[in-house]
Structure 1
Amino acid sequence: MQHDPRQPVIILVRPQMGENIGAAARAMLNFGLTEMRLVDPRDGWPNPRAIAMASGAAGQVLDHARIHPTLAEAMEGIDYAFATTARGRELSKPVFTPAAAMDKARRHDGRSAIVFGPERAGLENDDVARANAIVTVPVNPAFPSLNLAQAVLLMGYEWGRDTLPTEPAPHRRKADAEWLADRVEIERLGDHYEEKLAQAGFFFPETKAAAMRLNLRNMWSRLVLTRGDVRILHGVLRQLTRR
């Protein structure tokens, strides 16, 4: 399979769970990324749990994933690599947010890669040393750990923001139950309730009737109702007042 050389390669170093590999593949394809490289996966390869979790992404991502014994070999052909880590490092390297890293990747002329560590402890210093820069996500410092697939999804999203369509896909036509009721429909509902409440003697005493009607109108105008809601409320009132 030919991969788009402009896209960053996703490298998973010593991944431990097949489910996380599969979920990472799904996250990649969500944002148009297709090239995955695996470094020494703990449970070997292929992994049926990864394939099951990947669902529709198995054919486009996992079936073409390349397996390597070391990170050095997995980085063949890579000109610029980002190491993802939540921990501070003694290594002196540029540090980027995900958005800034993917902006740099888009402007980079050669091939780039994003390197993710194993689930338990993340990348080791030897792994980070092979990268050109570090990516750190601004998260709660009291709980900085991200699931592997979540981290891939986050980086994929930042990559896809400028490469995928910005407009949402067209949706099916809404049923009446989903369309918001307009002002006229709400007023008719208010008229219906006011009529039946008047027949039941609700507006009493007469001196307070005008204020009570005004409060009810104000209440109806504040409600956010769909056309389906309006139909139900009309039906409820008809049933309650049926002789």
Structure 2
Amino acid sequence: MTGRDGGADLRPEGNTPVVILVRPQLAENVGTTARAMANGGLFHLRLVAPRDGWPQERAWRSASGADRILDAAAVFDTVDAAVADLHRVFATCPRPRHIVKPVLTARGAAAEMREISTRPLRFGVLFGPERAGLDNEDMARADALIRYPLNPDFMSLNLSQAVMIMAYEWWMAADGTPPRELMTNETHVATKGELENFLGHLVRELDECGFLRNEQKRPGMVRNLRHFFERGEVTEQELRTLHGVVTELAHGRGARRGKRDA
């Protein structure tokens, strides 16, 4: 069941964490885990004693193209064997009890793993079975625990969801995407010169139609219009549209005046 054609061409970049699923119960969850891993740039999957054996065709059907992660998945009988070649191991857990270990959030763990990745060290994250999670013996193999700070009244996660959170934080720890940006497509954010040109056009027509006839209030009204257009990232295309609106309104006013004069 390896070497399938047609899957996404996923190649590991740099030193990335190994995802270790301990005693996974459903093949579909293994497949969706591979999909979540690919989303976050994680490519190394290990399975410890999968309940129904391995490989399982249902996993590939659930992977949405992340086939090569499943093709390369390694299977181990025990957690000890799965982590034997690693230097650092993290373990996810919902409520650590009677354990003295560092407990990190997913974001904190991702930051720590990014630092580890800069050194010639191999590292991985243990995820427990769907029904009960990792037991104390599993967590004893870890250097640190990861606990997601979710709604304390409802912290139930599907296996692939748990992996997705970790994969997302791993990716975001090195991602340079700005937290906010304006999508302008074929246009661009208007320059101050373009904006001033439009405001001049608008104010001239407002003077012409008498809207700004109150000389005492005129400076404040013009200032308010300027504030309205200056506080957002108006695009050049939007300004061209507004130029057209103002021009058409002015033409319409001229046509009505001509009819009255006639």
Q: Which residue of 1 aligns with 2:125?
A: 114
Matched, 1:152 2:163: yes
Residue 115 of structure 1 deviates from its aligned partner by 0.5
How far 1:91 sits from its partner (Å)? 3.3
Which residue of the partner structure matches residue 233 of structure 1?
A: 242
Q: Which residue matches 2:147? A: 136
Instruction: Give the aligned CA root-mean-square deviation in angstroms.
Output: 3.8
Counterpart CA distance in 2 for 1:196 and 1:79 is: 73
Q: Which runs of 5+ in 1 are unaligned?
A: none
Match of 2:113 among 98, 102, 127: 102
- Give the structure 2 partner of residue 55 of structure 1: 64
Q: Determine the C-alpha separation between the residues in 2 that align with 1:199 and 1:161.
A: 54
User: How far apart, CA to CA, are the structure 1 residues paired with 2:217 and 2:12?
Assistant: 75
Correspondent of 2:233 among 200, 210, 224: 224
SS in 2 for 1:198: helix
Verify the 8 A CA contact 1:80 1:132 in the aligned structure 2: yes
Map 1:14-29 → 2, pairs under 5 A: 14-29=23-38
Q: Tell me the residue number matched to 2:22.
A: 13
TM-score, scaled relative to structure 1: 0.73
* Per-residue CA distance 1:96-119 (angstroms, 9 max, x = gap): 441465267447766432100133
The answer to whether the 8 Å contact 1:31/1:156 transfers is yes
Query: Once the 2 structures are TM-superposed, how far is the Cα of residue 23 of structure 1 from its aligned partner?
Result: 3.8
Instruction: Answer yes or no: is the 8 Å Cα contact 2:12–2:41 preserved in 1.
Output: no
Deviation for aligned residue 1:46: 4.0
User: Residues 22 and 242 from structure 1, CA distance in 2 versus in 1: closer, same or farther, beyond 3 angstroms?
Assistant: farther
Q: Which moved more, 1:220-229 or 1:5-14?
A: 5-14
Q: Secondary structure at the match of 2:211?
A: coil
Distance 1:144 1:41 in 2: 24
* TM, length-normalised to structure 2: 0.68
- C-alpha distance in 2 between matches for 1:58 and 1:180: 42
CA distance in 2, matches of 1:27, 1:40: 21
Q: Structure 1 187/4 Cα, relative in aligned 2: closer, same or farther at 3 Å?
A: closer
Residues 22, 52 of structure 1: 8 Å contact kept: yes
Q: Please say if 1:186 is aligned against 2:195.
A: yes
Task: Give the superposition deviation at 1:6.
Answer: 5.2
User: Quick one: distance in 2 between partners of 1:63 and 1:101?
Assistant: 29
Q: 1:85 aligns with which of 77, 81, 93?
A: 93
Match of 1:38 among 47, 72, 75: 47
Distance in structure 2 (CA, Å) of the matches to 1:20 and 1:63: 15
Contact preservation (8 Å) 2:207, 2:213:
no
One-letter amino acid of the structure 2 residue matched with residue 65 of structure 1: A
Offset at 1:197?
2.0
Greater Rg over alpha carbons, structure: 2
Unpaired segments ≥5 residues, structure 2? 4-10, 178-182, 253-262
Counterpart secondary structure, 1:113: strand
Aligned partner of residue 129 in structure 2, secondary structure? coil
For residue 56 of structure 1, report the CA deviation from its aligned partner: 4.2
Change (3 A) 1:228 1:52: farther
Count of aligned pairs: 235
